[in-house]
Amino acid sequence: MKYFLTFCLFLPLLIGCQDDPEPVIQLLVNGDMETGAASPNSWWNREQTVYSTEWTTEEASKGSKSLKISASQTDPINFAFWAQTFSGSIPVEKNVVLSVSVKGKDLTGQGVSIVIRGDAESSPGGPAEQGSTTQGTTNITGTFDWTTYTVRLTGIERDIKSLTIYLILLPNSTGEVYFDEASLIVE
């Protein structure tokens, strides 16, 4: 009986060893937005006109910090984003999935989108060689608690040298959005 119990205890471990999943390849750093001094490490942003961006402790789905964008009035042209660029070893011919936790407060208009962009240069510039967005397919507006949104870029082309992810408050939008727990995983 004793041996049987021991066998039962270790059986899951043995099965686990035989069936190791593929290691998860994470292309983002500081995905929980917790580290940095004056600004969050590895993240950059653009804010225009009525939009403001902030590394904030107001809300967090993990830890104590998140990335915020807010707009108090509408602007038909401009928008704002937080972004991170990966220019290491590009997983060509594979897919990548951007996943991010989003919280919205009184988001009106076009609202939020998340984007993966591929460039043939080491940083984004000019027209994107490849891209994928939630805009037009996933409506992210209103007031809602932390919700995970994803977007997938399939079949990364051989000339791609960098992947940039954007967390965006679109034109014609007002309200507040918070982003936390971002990941860019190779499939």
The residues that touch Ca ion, with contacts defined as CB under 5 A, are 32-33, 60, 62-63, 65, 180
Q: How far is the CB of 21 from Ca ion (least distance, A)?
A: 26
Q: How far is the CB of 170 from Ca ion (least distance, A)?
A: 23
Q: How far is the CB of 59 from Ca ion (least distance, A)?
A: 9
Residue 181's contacts (CB-CB under 8 Å, 6 or more residues apart) are: 31, 32, 61, 62, 99, 100, 101, 148
- CB-wise, 50 or 149, nearer to Ca ion? 149
Contact 117, 154 (CB under 8 A): no
Q: How far is the CB of 148 from Ca ion (least distance, A)?
A: 14
- CB-wise, 119 or 180, nearer to Ca ion? 180
- Residue of minimal CB distance from Ca ion? 63
- CB-wise, 66 or 164, nearer to Ca ion? 66
The CA angle 15-16-22, to the nearest 5 degrees, is 130
- CB-wise, 63 or 125, nearer to Ca ion? 63
- CB-wise, 79 or 179, nearer to Ca ion? 179
- DSSP strands (E only) in 26-161: 44-46, 51-56, 66-71, 80-86, 96-109, 112-119, 130-133, 142-153
Q: How far is the CB of 173 from Ca ion (least distance, A)?
A: 23
Supply the DSSP symbol for 64.
T
CA dist., res. 157 & res. 92, Å (int):
6
